[in-house]
Structure formats: structure tokens, C-alpha cells
Structure 1
Amino acid sequence: MCALPAPLATWFSARNWQLHPHQAEMLARADDPATLLIAPTGGGKTLAGFLPSLADLATGDHAGLHTLYISPLKALAADIRRNLTTPVTEMGLPIRIEDRTGDTSAHTKRRQRADPPHILLTTPESLALLTSYEDAPRIFAGLKRVVIDEVHALAESKRGDQLMLALTRLQALCPDMRRVGLSATVEDPPALARYMAQGRSDCAILMADPGPEPDIAMLETTEPPPWAGGGAAYAIPAVLDAVRQHKTTLIFHNTRAQAEIFFHNLWLANDDALPIGIHHGSLDRVQRERVEAAMVRGDLRAVVCTGSLDLGLDWGDVDLVIQVGAPKNVKRLVQRIGRANHRYNAPSKARLVPANRFEVVECRAALEAVRARDLDGEARGPGPRDVLCQHILIRACAGPFEADVLFAEVIGAGAYAQLTRAEFDACLEFCATGGYALRAYDQWQRLQQRTDGLWQLRDPRSARLIRMNIGTIQDTDTLKVRMRRTRGGKPLGEIEEGFAATLTPGDTFLIGGQIVRFESLREMVVEVSRDPGRKPKIATYMGTKFATSTQLSERILHMLGAPDWPDLPTPVRDWLHLQRQVSQMPEPDSLLIESFAHDGREHLCIYGFAGRNAMQTLGLLVTKRMEETGLAPLGFVATDYATLIWGLEPVTDAAPLFAPDALREGLESWLMSNAVMKRTFRASATIAGLIQRNTPGARKNGRQATLSSDILYDTLVKYDPNHLLLDITRQEAMRGLVDFGRIEEMLARVAGRITLRRLARVSPLAAPLFLEAGRMPVEGAAQERLLAEESARLLAAAGLAP
């Protein structure tokens, strides 16, 4: 074991602290090229990641940037800076620690470029921006280590792909740079190690003691959950009781809108006036920071929150986590559970609150998975090419480059290891000219090749525009919300542009836990006033609508197949037993489809258990097939586990509706003319640099960006259907919003085994779908038939012949 330098050893000794075994091992393996540390939340993994840097800086005389820390969240970077600055100050070490995020002032950023601190805490976007400058080689000249916190969260998104491409650039500038990845929730350590190693075969995996089993259970409530819905209002009294019995409680929700509703209902029932806050990504930064500061001081008894508090913030007084609504993903649940008792070898305590009756089953399956340490995760595909296009433009901003050298760097990033030279050259050509259909337009002529073979920006002034649009996060179209009649208009946060368009003066909605009244829309700012006495609309925050993971869906299916369910509440057990009596249970190796008449319409309920996006897509494709075969569908609605279709004709043979080749053919023809493709194209075109949301002095609003992207999409479909961006869009849509891969997995799982049950009435499992929001109409022959029949009835009633 490597000994701690004197200043660190003295500091640890003064507190009677000893290094945890995994911290000592990280120190001993400081020279390893790449290391992945998997340690439980509260196990000191962040300190373990920094110990080699602190030891090196404490004993040496290092000028300039030594260690780069990458965090998925700005708030996490700021929190780490606070937590790291205290011991460094107490040890008397001459180490400068600073953060650099979107919240850092322009003056500070300029100073950091000229005189970098020893330890810089930043985000993937800010790092990409730093690598775009001509003086990047000087900024990173002395870089020794990169520490990536919550690496699992980054590995699942395009932000991680961008980060890994940026690291290939840093590795080229600093060949001896060491990499460290930190995580508490990893379902496949070797795969994440390969991701961390960037093509190397020598990424060490260190597994810390996982610690004691968490104390997790369902929250006991006096009322059973309702048949449908996501608000969990029935559990408010039980949640308040739990808050009273603990120091600090985090109450997690899956969406921002649900968090707002729950906070509002919780506050109305809070007769003891317990100090309770709300925290989510749509709130104004000042309000979020105020809540974070109150948490650090221990002033709050509870915080209603979303994924904005999923990761790493170290609040020692949190002794209970409540998850409202089914977690959808075991890994996310483990991450949230770890927020409670954020200390080494202290068991975390969490309670789950299902929002409806089916979620009781899902929550029970998730609890079993946590106890079995069975984490879920979807395999990621090849590195996205829209991110690669942005990286090429970023590299060009830093100065001329050689295509062969850049290609060699790029395929060193794990996700891009299988990238072919032809694919790389297609991205380079797109960055240079915009592609065949767009090469005549100057605005997309961005790169040129010099006589010596190097590539450079065609106009150096375009670097500013490229830098202004760096990043892969596609924010929804939002408008600022400010208080009217206050000096400067106090900012409250943001609401979606589409929701704002539905408001008329006098309408009320929830934001930041308070009810406000819409007054006007002025210069793209929603002006509001307080109106606490009225029933609010709910702001339609998109947030993230999670789909139940494949592994969790499999557990639910196996659970439903049990002969009895002694661990489930009596109302839920009775509901499931009634399903068996009326119909049958869905099974893992076959596809259950129920057919029944209800309220004058024929219904078809498909139990695919493929996640919300896939089941929504299945509804679109099956109704399309029904339309083609004369079955006259009228509409459908989807949840994570089922799709309910209604129409005019009964289905007597379901097999033709689920032929894989026909479904894929239907998907591809439907996609090209559908809004999903245009929405996906807009996101990819923005990332790839074809569309700029930010321009000097202005930012396009959602309508402007949509209009320009729709025109581009229609132009490319008509004149250049093989354009790189259309190919990227098809690939992204298939694995993103459409999630056709989950449908193909489902079809492979059932292998043609389809059970069609004709029922005399609605089945218990199908009943909640009638209460589900988001019903999608189908325009087609059924609508025409209904109109014709209604016309005939009206004429007959008037005594006229049809």
C-alpha cells in the first residue's frame, strides 16, 4: 500500500480516520493508465478518485492544470468544489480548485484559460468548449489525471459520447494522462471498463465492499392505490408521517409535472408547517441553489425532487428516500436509494409509493431486483455520427488538422471503435459542404482542404458560432416565467412553449410549488402574478418520461406467472386473481392479446411489456395494419405494459397483424412522413451543426427552429434521400422515440406464439387503460363509416331518404 504524504496523513490522523481499502488501492494504483472504481454511495469514492492528485500535488511543485474532474451535473461540480476545498485549506496545501460550468462568469473563464487552476471541475460541454480553442495545447500542457464522476450516467447518453471524443483529443495532447471512472451503479463492469479505457485493454476494475443491505420496502398507506394515474395523492398522509419521523427526506418523482402536483398536495396537507422545498430542472437557478443551500444547513425536513438530485450531492442529514411512482429502472432506484445515509457502511433507507395498482407489482419487482443486486442496462449502439460531426467542427476550431490523425484518435473512443473510414469521411464531407443537396449554399460550406492536405475552417469567424452551439443536450422549447409587477420581474423558472401557447389571461398553473396567474406573453417571457386561491392547470414539463427497462419488465412477467402473491396487498392480489378468472395472465414466452366489446366499440388489448415508447409505436403500426385489412381502428392508448386499440370490427386472427417484416415495412413508410422523424431530425441536425439554435445576439425560439428544420428535412427527403443526416435520423428514431428494437426483442421472445382470448367483458388488467391519458385517434375508414352512418340516421330522422 502506498503511504499518504505527511500533510494528508496528519489531517486523517487528527480526525481518527483511516483510508478505506478501496481508497488505499486507488492511491497504490495511481500510475495505472485507466481505473474504474465501483463503490457504494457514501463510500468515499470521490475522495478516492482525488487522493492520487492530492498526494502528487502535496509533494510536488506543479504549475498549471493537473487534474480535470468531469461531472454530469453543474450542481455536483459545485458541491465537490466545496467539499474538496475544506480539507485542502485545512491541510495548508497550495492547491487551487475551481469549477467551470455554464454558471461561471465570462471573466473567470478567461482567467482560467490564461492561468488554469491545479484542479478544474467541469462538465462535458465545458470541456468540449475548452478543447475548441487554439491555445488548448497550452491549457492542458501539464494535465496528469482525468476523474469522471458518475461515469455510468454519462455512458448512457450522447453527452458521454462527446466526452469520450474530447478525451481522445486530450490523450493526444497529453499521452501520459491517467483516467479514473467513479460509479456506484454498474450492471456490466467489463463493458464500462472498456468504455473508460478508450480502446486500451488495461483498465483496472476496483470493486469496493458493497456495504450493508439497504432498508427498502413499500410505504404502508391506509388507502389502496387507485386503478390509474401517476399523482399518488392517496399516499400524502403516509408520506407526511414518514417525513415527521425522519431528519430529512428526499421525495423523488419521475417527471417534473408530477413533482409539482405532489408538492402542491403535500403543502396543502402540511398542517404542521414542516419546512419542505421543491427542486427540479425547470426551476430558476437561484431557487434551486436556495434549496440546495437550505439542505446543506439542515433547514429542510423534505425536498420533493426529480432526477436533478439523482447524483452524488453529499447531504449527510438525509436519512430517508421516498420514490413516488414505479422507478422504471433498477439502476436509477439504487442511485436514489443511495442518497439516504450517505455514509460508509451505513444502510440506506428507502420507501416506494406506487401511484396506481399495477405499479404495486412493478415496485415489488424492483425491490426484489435491488435485493438481488440485479441491475439493468440497455446495450448502447455504435457512437452516434451527429456527435462525431460536432467533434470534427470543434477540432477545426482549434486549428488545422490532418484527417488521418483525427480518424485514428476517434476510433480510440470505445463507442467509435468500429467506425469505418468511409463513415468518417462521410461525416467530414458533411462538415465541409453540408452534403450533395446543400453544397450550393455558403452557410454550410464550413471546412476546406488546403494544398498541404490539412483541413481548416473556411472562415475563421465561424468558430464563434460553432462554439456557441456546442453540446448534445436537446432542451425542450421553453419560455422564461417571471413575476409581473416586481422590480426586474423575479424569475421563477421555465415552462414549455407548447403549454404557454394554450394559456389565456387569467389561467393559473403551478411552478416552484406556487400557483400563479398568466398575465401576458411579452418578448418571449411569460409574465405571471400570484394567485394562491384557485385550482391550477399543471405546467406540462417534459422532463424525462422513463420507460420500464427490459430486465424489470421480465421480472414483472415472471411475477405475474406466480400461483399466488402473498407479499402483495389484498386489493392487488384480488385484482390479479380476477384477471385469471376472466382471462389469463400474460406470459414471458407468448403474446397475450384480449379482444372484447365495450361501450359500442370493439377493443384489442396487447400485453407486450416492451416499455412505453415501444408500446406506443406498436399501437401506431398495428392500427396501420388494421386499417389496411379493413378492421376500421378508431384509436389507441399505450402504457409500459400494454396497448389498447378500439375500432368498429372485431379481430379474429391476430397473427397477420404481427408479422415482423410487415411491421418493419410499415414502420419505415410511416416514419418518413411522420412528425417523429422531423423531431428526431431537428435534434440530430442541431447536434451536427446544420441548425444553430444560438447565434450572436439572439436565440431562435422553438417555432423558428422547427420551421427551419422542417424545411431542411422536406428538402433533403425530396432531393437527397440518402443524405447523411437522414440516415442518422432513421437510426436515432429507431432506437430512441420509436424504440423499435424493443418491439423486435418482444417478437423474438414470443417467436410467433400469440394467444388471442375473446372475452365477454373488459379484463381487470385492461381496465386501467381506459383511464390512461394520451389517447391517440386514428384517421381512416372507420371515421368515414361513422360519418356515413350518422348522416343516414339524421336523414332518416328528418324523414328523408339517404
Structure 2
Amino acid sequence: MLDAAGRGEHSLLIAPTGAGKTLAGFLPTLAALTERPREGLHTLYVSPLKALAVDVQRNLLTPIAQAKLPISVETRTGDTSSDKKARQRQSPPNILLTTPESLALLLSYPQAETMFEGLESLIIDEIHAFATTKRGDQLALAMARLQRLAPGLRRIGLSATIADAMPFQSWLAPDTDPDSVRLVTCPQGAPPKIEILVPEDRIPWAGHNGRWAAAAVMRRIEAARLTIVFVNTRAVAELVFRDLWAENDSALPIGIHHGSLAPEARRKTEAAMAAGRLRAIVATASLDLGIDWGDVDLVIQMGAPKGAARLLQRTGRANHRLDEASHALIVPGNRFEYLEALAAQDAVTANDLDQEPFRPGSLDTLAQFIFARACAGAFMPDDLFEEVRLAAPYAGLTRGQFDAALDVIATGGYALRAYERYRRLTPQADGSLRLTHPRLAALHRLNAGTIVEAVTMNVRFGRRGRALGQVEEWFGSQLRIADTFMFAGQTLEVTGFDGPDIHVKMGRGTPSVPTYVGGRMPLSTNLANRVRGLLNTPERWPEMPPDVAEWLEIQRLRSTLPGLDDLLVETFPRDGRWFMVAYGFAGRPAHQTLGMLLTSRMERAGLMPLGFVASDYMIATWSLAEPTDLKPLFDPEILEDELAEWVAASPFLRRAFRETAIIGGLIERAQPGQHKTGKQLSVSSDLIYEVLRRHQPDHLLLTAAWNDARHKLTDLDRLATMLETAQHKLTHRRLPRVSPLAVPVLLEAGRESVPGASADTAILLEADALAREAMALD
């Protein structure tokens, strides 16, 4: 890395966890500032997580202080005070550690030109985590702007889990030429040790978070020095934290960490862990990137990891040293998740990591960037177009697309230009554009960002209202005084409401659990293919728990197993209904979309469908009539037209439009001194949506919403691939009763339909009955 810096080369460093890649990325900066001390900003470090920026600051300050180097280091994130932010714009440190969102905001100030003109290095950590997302689009546009302000800027990317380097080299390069970015690698360290926890050799039929093994997990925590227990959602973090406390007979100190907790609560937990005052922490993705706590010797993944790269990333938090094996324990939630855990274990051993594909830059993110550029001062459209095309995701952007994005910011677009509130850019005599009014800059900075969270309510403890964090408004609005809910690892009782604030005190009893929009992460294509491989490799079955091996063996005898390249569909009667189960292994979003598609087609065919349920592995429908002719139901030919009609009539497109309209600047989430409620946002969004749909259906943000619905909400690409497979190789098994492989998804249907406190008991009874029926060989 020093050699690359000496030659003025951009570089991408791919090195295993514990190899010291973060310090290697900073070493040229430390050397340069030691040899040539200077004032002002020299190096900008961008991380996907606030916690990572804070962690890096801690690890940088120690060697800088020990070596008595004349180097200043500060962080700037959403948690930084407004006074400090203002001071940093006028007098920045030598090294500034930030996030993509905070960098975009910095570039929206008129002082950006002087602040960044002397910038020499840009370090992007964990580049794999966001380069393919809208946050990556936002950062790519920021990089193009920085390169204009500081032409000599050198770009450095860091990662431990990139499978194919070339696309990332192209993304990182100022000219999208991968050869202009030097690839730096180092030898692999000690291979990770990944186990799968199977207490008493039994795996549940259904469930997806591993909570059934809480007692066994607690015993592992007791035997380790320091453990991070990773879960996939914030709601599960609260549940698992409570489960572990119930099994914590030794009263070991355990913390909780997720994105909805107040910054002070997260910092307190991080500091306690760094100081060695905790034995375990339950965390979501808020801590799975780059955090370096050397005393962590065990990582536990509750539920399947959904991707090999994510598993390797999380495993690397344990024994964060190159010469020591990282140790991880996967706790599968059900039998399919056991297969997924085994597939992930195999993939990590083979270093076969999944990787999200790069797509053209999102148009709503482009519109937001144009708005930010106007906040920094007047600009020439031609110059900005050329600048934008220097960002890799926008290298293929047409002038027509750019002008459409510019028009959204300047006037709102053709259908909205009559409304004065959307006239935000004013032409100047020299052809440049400037903000119509200075207050628009403050409004933009209050609403900017590519992560659109649901509207939240603040949870405040006691009379003084100490902030604990936020719950989503839809959950908070259902609470009443004296209700209890679980949050920040505690049972809280509602004592009152004050606008967007929920006041609480310590409570008792059986609390409800806040859940959050976003749901679970879908199974990666790589792991899905590996799970299929395990199903078709009977010689591997003896190494599995006996109940899993028996499950697969009886499935083979009673029906058949999904092949490597087919679509297995089973039909069978039960309780006066006909069930159809298709094993697509395409991930939950694609299967949910297929469920809508199948029930619509079944309705037209007179099969009288009653419902469907989807998992990462399969889709199940139930109807009053028997599906016999399956090919038309899985026909890919009219998929696009049907999907367009369905998405337009469903909440999906409206929801996607609300997000693109917020990112693209048509709708403000907040105004100075006030935040909009979820209902207010929905009303604003729906009104604009209807106007555009009727009068400007090709509006840029409607197009962006459709692209989001296609890729993120419906996963149309994986669905189309599945349907193409069905046309060439559809295997239909008509069975007299439920098959072993179908039991988990039918239990998911039961879990969704059984209400009340007796739900768990009802599911257990149903599981027992279904299992006996499915596993019987007579």
C-alpha cells in the first residue's frame, strides 16, 4: 500500500480479517503527515457504519499518540453535535472519519470547495457492503465531485469479502477503467472455524431465528471470554436478548445493540465491550462490519446467515487476528436452515463468496445529488452532466435522463411545474442554475439520504425524558397507557404520550415486541444452489443430524427431492383443500411475488385459491379445486405484463414511489421544527403519485419506483429464471398427503394465521400432527 501511494496509484486492498487492512489503508497517510505536517483535511475515510468510524478513530488515536505524531483525527456522523459539524467545515482535522450520508451533506455546503481542495486520499472501508446499493450510488457521485475539487485525489478501497475484484476496481476508478486501480492482496490467514449447533441432535421443523436453542447458546457464552450474538432483525435482537437473560443463571453482563437504539445507548454498549465489561452482546448488522474488539473469541449467528460473505464477515469479528482462527457458531432455526448453514460452511471453506451484481445508478439518488450540488452554489448543467458521468454507476447515463433528473429538482417535472413549491432552481443570465431560495438548502439537508426508514416515535424514560431510541410509528400508535413492550432489552410500561414521544417507566408482565419494516434478508443465489447440491448428494446425509437425514430419506421415498436444475411441484389434499408446493429456492421476495402471480392465475382458471405462504425455499398455495395442469400456472411468457398490472394495483408501487419521492426530493420527511407523521407522508405521496400516474406516467421518479419494485420488492430477475426453468424441467408429484419437505412452509402458514397468546402451543400441536402425517411410510 505504501508502494502504491508512492506511485500515486489508486488501490483496492483485499485481505482477510485480522490482516491489518484498515491500518494498511491509513499507513501512507500517517507517513505523509509525519514527513510533511500540515493543516487542513488530508484524508477522508468513509465507512458504512457509524460504529465503525468510531472504532477506527479509537484504534488510530492510540498509535498516533504513542508515536507522538502531529496528526488530528475526528469523526463526523449523524451522531456528531451540530456545533462540532460547523467547526469541522471551517477547520477540518487532518483525518476525517465519516459515512456516505455525512459526506454527501458536507458536499452540499458552500465551504466544500475550500474544505476539500487539499484532499489527498479517500479511503472507503468495507467497500463490498454498499458499492452495489443506492448508498454506493450516492458515494460514487460524491467521489466524482471530490475528484473535481481535488484533481490529485487518490482512492483506496478496503474489503475482506470480495469474490470478483474487477467490478469493484471499475467502480473505484475515476475513469471506470479497472486497470487504473492497483489490486493489492495478501496471503490468507488461519481458516475460520465454523460450527453448527445441534442440541440433542434435533432441529425444529419451523421457525427462523434459533431461539429454541437459547439454553445451549448461553452455555457457549459462559465458556467464552467475549461473544457477539448476531441476529438478522431488530425485533429478533430484543427477543433473543430476553431469552438469553432467562437462561443467564450466572448473571453475566450482556448488552444489546441495534440501529433503533439511541446513539448514547449504542455508544455506552460499545464502550463497555471495548473495556471488557461485557461477556456478550446481541447485535444486528449494526456491528457486523470491521469492528475490531480483540477480546471477542466467539461469534454466534442465530438463524441462517443468508449469504456466505455475510457469514465470513461476521465470523471475522472473533479473534480478529491473522494468525488465529475466527470461531463462529450457527444456530439454525429449522431444518432447511440447517441445510443452509451447512451450505454456508462449505462455501466459506471453499472461499466461494456471493456478490450482489452492479446495476446502473438509481435516478432518484441522482436527483438528490443535483439538489445537493445546487445547495453548494450555482452550477452549469453541462459541467455537472460531465461530472456525473465520471461516477461509475452513471457512466452510461444519457443526457435525456440527466435532464429529466434536473427537471425534477428545478420544477418537479412537467406535471408539477405549476406548483410554486417545486420551483427550486432559477436560471441565471450566464446559463447557470441556482437555488430559488436559501431556505431550500436547510430543507434539503434535513431530508437527504438514501435510507428511507419508516416514520418513528421516540421512546423516552422517566420524567426528564432520557432518550432510549425509536420504534416505528405504526407500532407506537397502537400502544395505550399501561401497555408494556420490550425495548433496549427491558420491559417498559407506557406512562404517557407527547406528540412523537412515548414516555415509559420500567414495567412487568408479558410485553409486546416492536417489529420493523424491512423484514428478513433473502437467501443468496449462491447458497440456494449449494442447498440444492446437498439435497442431491446422499453421501453427505450421514454427517447431518439423524432427524434431518431421516427427513430427506423419507422425502426421497415418499416423493422426490428437488434437482439441481428443475422446479419440483407437489400437490396433495388436506383438510378439504388442495395444496400446491413449489420448491424454487429463489428467496422470499421472488416467492412472495410468485404467490401473487399464481393465485391470480388460479383464480382465472377457476381453482378458487384461498391463500399462499412463501419462504426462502418454497411457495405454497391452497385452493378448493385441485391444480392439475401446472404449465400454464408457471408460464413465463406474460410475466412482465401481469406483473406490471399487479404491481400497479398493489401497495408495492406506491410504497416504492414514496421512497423514491423522498430520496428524489419531491416529499420532505421533516421541516425545521417538525416531523411529518406516517399518515401525512402517505397522503402527500399518494396525491403526487396519482397526479403523475395520470398526467406524466413517464416521470423520472415513477420510473425509479418501478425499477425498485422490480429488483428489490419483487426480485423479478430470480422469478423469471425460476419460471424459465419450469418450462424446460417441471417435475410434478401428485401425493396422497403432505410430504416431509412441505411441512416447514405449511407451519409458516399456521404461524401467520394463528392469533393470540396460544399461538405457540397451537403451532407445536400442528407441527406434531403434520410431522407424523408426513413421515409415515404406510
TM over 0.5: yes
AA partner of residue 158 (structure 1): K
AA partner of residue 535 (structure 1): T
- 1:400 deviates by 1.5
Cα-to-partner distance string for 1:266-325 (whole Å, 9 max, x where unaligned) = 101111111111111112222211111110111111111111110111100000111110
The match for 1:474 is 452
Cα-to-partner distance string for 1:71-103 (whole Å, 9 max, x where unaligned) = 111111111112111211221221111111111
Residue of 356, 359, 365 corresponding to 2:343? 365
Residue of 664, 674, 697 corresponding to 2:673? 697
Q: Distance in 2 between matches of 1:199 and 1:160?
A: 16
- 1:575 has 2:551 as partner: yes
AA partner of residue 690 (structure 2): D
Task: Answer yes or no: is the 8 Å Cα contact 1:215–1:349 preserved in 2.
Answer: yes
Residue of 591, 599, 621 corresponding to 1:615? 591
Q: Distance in 2 between matches of 1:519 and 1:578?
A: 55
Task: Answer yes or no: is the 8 Å Cα contact 1:390–1:470 preserved in 2.
Answer: yes
- 1:461 deviates by 2.9
The match for 2:763 is none
- 1:344 has 2:344 as partner: no
Task: Answer yes or no: is the 8 Å Cα contact 1:223–1:235 preserved in 2.
Answer: no
- 1:467 deviates by 1.8
- 1:517 deviates by 2.4
Cα-to-partner distance string for 1:675-728 (whole Å, 9 max, x where unaligned) = 111110000000000001121111112121111101111221122212111111
- The CA RMSD measured in Å over matched residues stands at 1.6
AA partner of residue 429 (structure 1): D
Q: Distance in 1 between matches of 2:79 and 2:594?
A: 42
AA partner of residue 300 (structure 1): L
Q: Distance in 1 between matches of 2:139 and 2:652?
A: 27
AA partner of residue 362 (structure 1): E
The match for 2:426 is 448
- 1:541 deviates by 2.8
Residue of 321, 332, 348 corresponding to 1:354? 332
Cα-to-partner distance string for 1:236-281 (whole Å, 9 max, x where unaligned) = 2221221121100111111111121111111011111111111111
Q: Matched residue of 1:278: which SS?
A: strand
AA partner of residue 238 (structure 1): A
Task: Answer yes or no: is the 8 Å Cα contact 1:590–1:751 preserved in 2.
Answer: no
- 1:271 has 2:249 as partner: yes
Residue of 8, 21, 38 corresponding to 2:14? 38
- 1:584 has 2:557 as partner: no
The match for 2:639 is 663
Change (3 A) 1:519 1:224: farther
- 1:539 has 2:510 as partner: no
Cα-to-partner distance string for 1:758-785 (whole Å, 9 max, x where unaligned) = 11001111111122159889xxxxxxxx
The match for 1:310 is 288
AA partner of residue 277 (structure 1): G
Q: TM-score, normalised by structure 2?
A: 0.94
- 1:170 deviates by 0.7
- 1:223 deviates by 5.7
* Identity across matched positions, percent: 50
Q: TM-score, normalised by structure 1?
A: 0.91
Cα-to-partner distance string for 1:372-410 (whole Å, 9 max, x where unaligned) = 000001212100010000011111111111122111111
The match for 2:699 is 723
- 1:99 has 2:75 as partner: yes
Q: Matched residue of 1:735: which SS?
A: helix
Task: Answer yes or no: is the 8 Å Cα contact 2:405–2:700 preserved in 1.
Answer: yes
- 1:687 has 2:670 as partner: no
Residue of 377, 380, 388 corresponding to 2:366? 388
The match for 1:793 is none
Q: Matched residue of 2:130: which SS?
A: helix
The match for 1:416 is 394
Cα-to-partner distance string for 1:481-514 (whole Å, 9 max, x where unaligned) = 123xx23123222222222233334432211111
Q: Distance in 1 between matches of 2:334 and 2:186?
A: 37
Q: Distance in 2 between matches of 1:672 and 1:757?
A: 34
Q: Distance in 2 between matches of 1:410 and 1:31?
A: 27
Q: Which runs of 4+ in 1 moved over 6 A?
A: 774-777
Aligned ranges 1:498-517 → 2 under 5 Å: 498-517=474-493
- 1:26 deviates by 3.5
AA partner of residue 554 (structure 1): N
AA partner of residue 296 (structure 1): A
Task: Answer yes or no: is the 8 Å Cα contact 1:223–1:234 preserved in 2.
Answer: no
The match for 1:635 is 611
AA partner of residue 744 (structure 2): P
Residues paired across the two proteins, number = 750
- 1:751 deviates by 4.4
AA partner of residue 247 (structure 1): R
Q: Distance in 2 between matches of 1:537 and 1:375?
A: 38
Cα-to-partner distance string for 1:91-131 (whole Å, 9 max, x where unaligned) = 12211111111111111111111111111111111111111
Q: Distance in 1 between matches of 2:752 and 2:359?
A: 30
Task: Answer yes or no: is the 8 Å Cα contact 1:319–1:348 preserved in 2.
Answer: yes
Q: Distance in 1 between matches of 2:54 and 2:319?
A: 21
- 1:324 has 2:296 as partner: no
Q: Matched residue of 2:680: which SS?
A: helix
Q: Distance in 2 between matches of 1:775 and 1:705?
A: 32
AA partner of residue 549 (structure 1): S
The match for 2:125 is 149
The match for 1:11 is none
Cα-to-partner distance string for 1:529-564 (whole Å, 9 max, x where unaligned) = 3223x1222211346510000111011111111234
- 1:27 deviates by 4.5
- 1:28 deviates by 4.9
Q: Distance in 2 between matches of 1:209 and 1:720?
A: 55
The match for 1:175 is 151
Task: Answer yes or no: is the 8 Å Cα contact 1:37–1:205 preserved in 2.
Answer: yes
- 1:518 has 2:494 as partner: yes
Q: Matched residue of 1:492: which SS?
A: strand
Cα-to-partner distance string for 1:175-194 (whole Å, 9 max, x where unaligned) = 11000011111021111111
Task: Answer yes or no: is the 8 Å Cα contact 1:482–1:493 preserved in 2.
Answer: yes
The match for 1:66 is 42
Task: Answer yes or no: is the 8 Å Cα contact 1:225–1:232 preserved in 2.
Answer: no
Task: Answer yes or no: is the 8 Å Cα contact 1:635–1:775 preserved in 2.
Answer: no
- 1:294 has 2:272 as partner: yes
Task: Answer yes or no: is the 8 Å Cα contact 2:37–2:70 preserved in 1.
Answer: no
The unaligned stretches of length 5 or more in structure 1 are 1-24, 778-802
Q: Distance in 2 between matches of 1:723 and 1:28?
A: 45
Deviates more, 1:451-460 or 1:146-155: 451-460
Deviates more, 1:211-220 or 1:386-395: 211-220
- 1:167 deviates by 0.9
Task: Answer yes or no: is the 8 Å Cα contact 2:374–2:433 preserved in 1.
Answer: yes
Q: Distance in 2 between matches of 1:435 and 1:244?
A: 60
Change (3 A) 1:566 1:228: same
Deviates more, 1:162-171 or 1:752-761: 752-761
Q: Distance in 1 between matches of 2:706 and 2:222?
A: 51
Residue of 750, 753, 761 corresponding to 2:729? 753
Change (3 A) 1:289 1:61: closer
Q: Matched residue of 2:638: which SS?
A: helix
- 1:197 deviates by 0.8
The match for 2:205 is 227
Aligned ranges 1:756-767 → 2 under 5 Å: 756-767=732-743
